Amino acid sequence: MDKKLYEKVGIWLEQHRKQMEKDIMRLVRIPSISSPWGGGVSGREEASEAPFGQPCRDCLEEMLAIGREHGFYTENYGNRVGSIGEREKDWDNMIGFWNHMDVVPVGNQWKYEPFVPFVEEPFLIGRGSQDNKGPAVGILYMMECLRELQVPLGHQMCLFVGTDEERGMEDLEYYIQRYPAPRLSMIADSGFPVCYGEKGIIEGGLRCPKLTWEGIRELKGGSASNMIPDMAYAVLERTAAAENAVIKTLDRIEKGAPKGQTQVPAEAQAQIEAVFEQDRIRVVSRGRSRHSAFPQGSVNAIHGLMGFLAGLEILPAEDAGLFGRLAFLSEEYFGEHMGIAYEDQVSGRTTCAATVLNMEEGKVFLHFNIRYAITANQEEMLKNLRRTGEENKMSWELGRNSGPSYFPKEHPAVERLTNLYNEITGSRTESFVMGGGTYARKLPRAFAYGIGAMKESEEDKEVRKRLFLPGHGGAHEPDEGLNVRLLTEAMKIYAMAMVELKDCQL
């Protein structure tokens, strides 16, 4: 590695760090939660003014404006994807960087305003700061840095930004059907070093028969498929019998697990509370959110609510049994209760999390987000999901199945970039496969490279402890925060990666 160039890159990025923070905050202020009602389903030929909602379009346009301010040429592809680079594109010799402007829903339990970003060094706090607006701006500054330092490169660089990554990646489906792809694509939306494979993703759910008891007016939990729900609630008709049943069930929770729910450690239990209003009782279950691909350490609020309802003595036996089965099926995160437990040496264990709950016309629907191992038998898995539904007197409904992605581990870029990261950081990490889903699964010749998994300093940890409660501060968590110092370090690695790949055949 050219250490003198590495130092120059570091100096340049530090000099521009404050401006980089300002540009990130311009994007974080826009509540760009992708919405299906925007009209942007893949396959539609007609152009849409705001295919995934106006905030997503606004954020895309703001990012392109930032790119122009930094001297790059920008293009807008159907208000779904944008590019920032050179006017004349050499697709066969291009390295494309991919980031997304859309964010997951806010969720609950925020200490700070999610779309009012602020900086308390080294953190920039706000929804989307870490996932994935901050890295997008970081890549832009990395490209500008190499241009201003006149570093000779072997390949053209171009930054691409999408607007529907979190909800289903229909933005990329639209793009790939109509426009060229770079020769090699890198996605700054994982941990370092190279993530050469991603598990498959199944989204679907269990539809239940109509409840017998009509005293449940409303049932809802979770805000996005790829987030462990931190809140779920039920609204009950308030009668003397219902009030007495709720009080008795709350009392049992204080003494141990409610009827119909397996005993779990106190730190893994959802917190249940009841609010008695004039004509209704609102039962709220509060948990701890995490990304559904990495559910360990979370507390599923839906599971807590299902266990509570299973123990509610006012319910008819068939309804209590239904909620008991839903509590059982939502209890763990590795597909054992759903009949799809599987792991391999390449990608590890399949994960399976109940993430969204709703009820329409007395029929409960529980949504699951599944990240399955790369070598799993998809047909067998879907058959087992259907069987699990039937055995529990429910029906399994498949929403989508996004197959796993795999970039050849033997490609020279994988070894070079992994070794570069280890040389710069003094680590001994290896390239890997993950459960998270990035744009790599929709693009040819693509893999993820950073910017996460970098080590915080002791000073950073002290600030983190002061700013964030447990279960806060991460991607998809309340009070999402970006460590800008580490972002700067990551962009130094990215800059040197472009030099490292100078003579690498893509």
Q: Are 34 and 47 in contact (CB under 8 A)?
A: no
What tokens does 291 get?
């990304």
Per-residue pLDDT at 170? 94
Q: What is the pLDDT of residues 156-177, one digit of tens each?
A: 999 999 999 999 899 999 999 9
Q: What is the pLDDT of residues 11-62, one digit of tens each?
A: 999 999 999 999 999 999 999 999 865 444 443 434 478 999 999 999 999 9
For residue 325, report the phi and psi dihedrals to the nearest 5 degrees. -65, -40
What tokens does 59 get?
């954020």
129 DSSP 8-state letter: I
Mean pLDDT throughout 122-137? 98
Q: Is the pTM here over 0.75, yes or no?
A: yes
Query: Which domains, from first to last, does the chain contain?
Result: 3-199+405-500 (3.40.630.10), 201-402 (3.30.70.360)
Per-residue pLDDT at 45? 38
* CA 352 to each of CA 96, 114, 205, 258, 435: distance values in angstroms, whole numbers, following the listed order: 32, 28, 11, 23, 11
Q: What is the pLDDT of residues 364-386, one digit of tens each?
A: 999 999 999 999 999 999 999 99
Per-residue pLDDT at 348? 92
Mean pLDDT throughout 147-158? 97
Per-residue pLDDT at 108? 86
**DSSP alpha helix (H) spans, 330-469:** 378-391, 412-425, 458-467
Per-residue pLDDT at 3? 96
Q: Are 487 and 134 in contact (CB under 8 A)?
A: yes
Nearest residue to 495 via CA among 89, 147, 84, 190:
147
- Cα dihedral sign, 458-463-468-469: positive
Mean pLDDT throughout 177-201? 96
Calculate the average pLDDT of the chain.
93
Rg, the chain, Cα only = 24
Tell me what percent of the residues of the chain surpass a pLDDT of 70: 95
Contacts of 116 (CB under 8 A, 6+ apart): 29, 126
Coil, strand or helix at 280: strand
Per-residue pLDDT at 189? 94
Q: What is the pLDDT of residues 397-440, one digit of tens each?
A: 999 999 999 999 999 999 999 999 999 999 999 999 998 889 99
Residues pairing with 482 in the sheet: 124
pLDDT grade for 190, boundaries at 50, 70 and 90: very high
Q: What is the pLDDT of residues 292-323, one digit of tens each?
A: 999 999 999 999 999 999 999 999 999 999 99
Per-residue pLDDT at 62? 98
Mean pLDDT throughout 454-476? 94
Q: What is the pLDDT of residues 232-290, one digit of tens each?
A: 999 999 999 999 999 999 998 887 655 444 445 555 689 999 999 999 999 999 999 99
What DSSP letter does each residue of 330-362 carry, written as one string? TS-SSSTTTT---EETTTEE-EEEEEEEEEETT
Per-residue pLDDT at 44? 42
